[in-house]
Each structure stands twice: as structure tokens, then as C-alpha cells.
């Protein structure tokens, strides 16, 4: 119950996520000196889904069961891109092998955990994104390179399943092909604002408000986007 989308361009990378999370079962939330306990689950607004590696070289957005992405606790201590990617892959392999195989195969379904890692490779002088998908019975990775013209949209989460149907394939392709310069950042964020709003109206697990990070060729280390209304 998440929507994370990466706009990958040859000169910049933008990673956005909604800020809503739903919990199942007894939940304890602490805000300062206040503790709130919800016996039947709770909705959290402002939940963090985007994390940065050491030196802000890699931005990682996660979807699925947040507790299954335990590697994010080690991410801030890693200051090398390849080591950050290896951290995720190693976790995926471990996650696949720590369960009873016979018991797993009897389950009707297994929630897939997903993440996108995006970064600027100084040696290649290019932007890349890695897609990671894993559950108790499978794992998958795929590497994307920014196109020479226009932009590329990579997305995960429950909102990803309805993205094309909700926004329209033609509109998504039109927007991606129109992406040309970081000077149009405000326009891009306005388009994404409409996207998150429409998806949140269809998927109750996705929030309308969103947050994000950005890296540019001139300043490759990721910084948080300043969005007054998000």
C-alpha cells in the first residue's frame, strides 16, 4: 500500500513516495511524550519510505512490509554505491533462505517487497536505477539506465499496479517523452501531484501527499525536495 516513482533522466534523478502507511493488529505510536495504542491497526501520515546512503550517493525507496526491509538500518553507514546495492541483494538472498520451504509452498500468497535504488555513476557519467523485488519464494533485480532523450518512469508499490490504468498509458508516455530539463522541475512536480491525487482516490493505501529527493549532474548527491504543500 504505497506508491513510489522514479523519474530517471540523463541529467537528473527524482525519487518520490507517498507518506501514508497502514498497520495491521495492535500498534503503538510514540510522538514525543505521547504514546498512542491502536488495537486494530492504525493509519500513519508522514511515514518515511525514502532513505539515503552515506554521503547521499544512493536514494532508496521501499514498498511492501517495512519490517522486511531491515537493511535500511545499515544504509547510512555505506559510502560506496556498489556496496549499497550489494547490501540490498544480500538481504534478498538471506530473506529467501531463512524460511521453512515446505511451509512456504503451502501458503496461498506471499506479499512482495519492492524497492528502487537510484544513483549517478561518476565513472560512467550516467544515471542508473536498480529495481529490487523479493518475497519468501523469489527475488529479482533489474538495472535501468537513463535514456538519451526524454525521461523514464520506474515505479513500485500497490499504486504501481493501477498507475497506467488510472493516469492512462498515452498520458504517461507523453509526459516521459516531454521531460527535458531540470529547469522544468516545478512543472514535473505539478504533474506528479495530480498523479498521487488520482491514485490515492482509487487506492486507499496510498496517500495524496508525497515527498521526494533529487540528484542532478551538477550536484549528484541527493537532497530532499522542498515542497511547501507536501
Residue 202 or residue 94, greater confidence: 202
For residue 169, what pLDDT band results from cuts at 50, 70 and 90? very high
What percentage of residues in the chain have a pLDDT greater than 90? 70
Going by pLDDT thresholds of 50, 70 and 90, the confidence category of residue 111 is confident
Once rounded to an integer, what is the mean pLDDT over residues 45-64? 92
Q: Once rounded to an integer, what is the mean pLDDT over residues 110-136?
A: 93
For residue range 181-196, what is the model confidence (pLDDT) as tens digits? 999 999 999 999 999 9
220 pLDDT more than 50? yes
Can you tell me the distance from the alpha carbon of 101 to that of 90, in angstroms, rounded to the nearest whole number?
A: 19
State the CB neighbour count (10 A cutoff) for residue 157. Answer: 26
Q: How far is CA 121 from CA 80, 128, 137, 146, 181, in A?
A: 11, 7, 32, 11, 19
* pTM flag (> 0.85): yes
The domains located in the chain, with CATH, are 4-224 (3.60.20.10)
Amino acid at each position: 500500500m504505497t506508491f513510489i516513482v522514479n523519474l530517471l533522466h540523463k541529467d537528473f534523478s527524482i525519487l518520490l513516495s507517498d507518506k501514508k502507511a497502514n498497520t495491521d493488529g495492535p500498534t503503538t505510536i510514540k510522538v514525543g511524550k505521547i504514546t498512542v495504542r491502536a488495537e486494530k491497526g492504525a493509519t500513519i501520515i508522514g511515514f518515511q519510505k525514502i532513505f539515503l546512503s552515506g554521503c547521499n550517493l544512493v536514494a532508496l525507496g521501499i514498498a511492501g512490509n517495512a519490517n522486511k526491509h531491515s537493511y535500511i538500518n545499515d544504509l547510512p553507514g555505506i559510502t560506496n554505491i556498489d556496496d549499497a546495492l550489494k547490501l540490498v541483494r544480500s538481504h534478498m538472498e538471506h530473506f529467501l533462505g531463512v524460511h521453512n520451504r515446505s511451509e512456504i509452498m503451502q501458503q496461498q500468497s506471499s506479499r512482495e517487497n519492492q524497492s528502487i535504488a537510484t544513483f549517478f555513476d561518476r565513472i560512467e557519467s550516467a544515471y542508473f536505477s536498480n529495481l529490487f523485488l523479493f518475497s519468501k519464494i523469489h527475488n529479482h533485480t533489474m538495472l535501468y539506465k537513463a535514456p538519451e532523450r526524454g525521461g523514464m518512469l520506474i515505479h513500485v508499490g500497490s499504486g504501481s499496479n493501477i498507475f497506467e490504468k488510472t493516469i492512462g498509458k498515452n498520458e504517461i508516455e507523453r509526459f516521459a517523452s516531454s521531460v527535458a530539463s531540470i529547469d522544468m522541475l516545478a512543472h514535473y512536480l505539478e504533474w506528479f501531484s495530480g498523479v498521487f491525487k488520482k491514485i490515492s482516490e482509487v487506492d486507499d493505501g496510498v496517500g495524496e501527499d508525497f515527498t521526494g529527493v533529487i540528484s542532478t549532474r551538477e550536484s549528484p548527491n541527493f537532497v530532499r525536495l522542498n515542497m511547501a504543500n507536501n
